[in-house]
A and B are shown apart, each in its own frame.
Chain A
């Protein structure tokens, strides 16, 4: 299976705190992407980091990538209740396919 793993599986924090989620993957990648999914809904693309990049920012999101360790992290700063969702990393191994990690369920308590 090419499915990656994320930890923690579930994370509960207070509003205003930072949330960090980690993703480990198994194969070589062209890129790694992070998605968000609200319960029972489709996925929303958050950020893409290419294999030759080490860090990327987008608003309150910060993503790092360590290809030597085959790992990535997503940091959400100054969390809000509306950030409550499941977050998935996805390995982009080629031009097309994405293989999703197991996901982290984030709960932000107001």
Chain B
């Protein structure tokens, strides 16, 4: 149980275009989802916390107009990288916490590798 999927797993886009990444909890409901980015051989940096039905909370230094987050249902959150630039190339990982969560455990998706050319 507690499976989180991400789509796409890899995407290559041209500079200036927008890319949408989906994060789905497959077998549980998630009131809260999290978006991280990870540079090669580095740690995960929390970008934003996404709560179903409300606006996302962004970490300091993360541009909310550039990284649009929508959490429209209890099983789906999307991250849209708008007007992508090469420096946005990274590994984006989402995680989800169960709505009925009795623990603090987060379940992570497999990640999406974004390359902006």
Contacts and interface: CB of A to CB of B under 8 A. Distances in A.
A37 to B, nearest CB: 9
B108 A100 contact: no
B113 interface: yes
Contacts of B43: 3, 88, 100-103
Contacts, number: 59
A45 interface: yes
B113 A88 contact: no
Interface residues of A, number: 24
A92 B104 contact: yes
A42 B93 contact: yes
A40 B10 CA distance: 11
B105 A45 contact: yes
Nearest to A102: B43
A41 interface: yes
Nearest to A44: B108
B82 to A, nearest CB: 24
Q: From DSSP, what is the main secondary structure of chain A's interface residues?
A: strand
Interface residues of B, number: 26
Contacts of B104: 30-31, 33, 48, 92, 95-96
Given A33-B105, A92-B104, A100 B49 contact: no
A70 B110 CA distance: 30
A15 to B, nearest CB: 23
Contacts of A3: 43, 45
B100 interface: no
Contact of B49 (A44, A96, A102, A103): A96
Given A96-B34, A97-B46, 10 more contacts: A3-B45, A41-B110, A41-B111, A42-B4, A45-B107, A48-B105, A95-B104, A96-B32, A98-B46, A103-B42
